Amino acid sequence: MVNVIKYIIISIIILLLQVLVLNNLNIKGYAIPFLYLWIILRLPASMSRIVTISLGFFIGLIVDIFSNTLGMHALATTFFAFMKEPVTLLYISREDVKNNAISLAGLGASVYLKLLLTMVMIFCISIYLIEAFTFVNVMHLLLKIGTSFLSTFVIILAFDKLNLIHKNI
């Protein structure tokens, strides 16, 4: 129970950090780190997929409300939450998912880095394709995807390294 309360408090802090600081911290109009994805990544594997997807939608909606982005984050984060289970099962077995937290400490560096790379890339591609809704300026789109991917990957990895929540959450 203490871990759940810790998780909720940390999630609120991350959402506040995202909407008040990180959304305004775009490097030359390209790289925006999306730390709030960590909240969905750390949801327990035992949680129902419907609940995970619903939480993904509501977390994205909160970011949309404060960022004035008209549902882009809600859609991309819902898709991110939808893809969490199948992508996780690409790298680890169902039994290992139930026994280990999706974290650096829970999965080990090799598996966690592959999972994180895949999931962050899925999100960055989806959010910027939703935003652009065109392939007119492909280089600009690829630059935004690449820089945001890199900044998000690094910030989530650094945040996970802090290990603020016990690895069994």
Tens digit of each residue's pLDDT (9 = 90 or more) over 126-144: 999 998 887 778 898 999 9
Whole-number pLDDT of residue 169: 47
Tens digit of each residue's pLDDT (9 = 90 or more) over 58-101: 999 999 999 988 899 999 999 999 999 999 999 988 887 777 77
- Sign of torsion over alpha carbons 68, 71, 76, 78: positive
pTM, to two decimals: 0.89
Whole-number pLDDT of residue 5: 86
Whole-number pLDDT of residue 166: 52
Nearest to 37 by CA among 16, 20, 15: 15
**Taking 90 as the threshold, does the pLDDT of residue 106 lie above it?**
no
By the 10 Å C-beta count (0-12 exposed, 13-18 middle, 19+ buried), 153 is classed as buried
CA–CA separation, 78 and 62 (whole Å)? 12
Compute CA 26 distance to the chain's CA centroid, rounded to the nearest angstrom.
17
Tens digit of each residue's pLDDT (9 = 90 or more) over 17-71: 999 998 888 777 788 999 999 999 988 888 889 999 999 999 999 999 999 888 9
Q: Give me the architecture of the 2-162 domain, per CATH.
A: Orthogonal Bundle (1.10)
Whole-number pLDDT of residue 71: 92
Whole-number pLDDT of residue 96: 78
Whole-number pLDDT of residue 73: 96
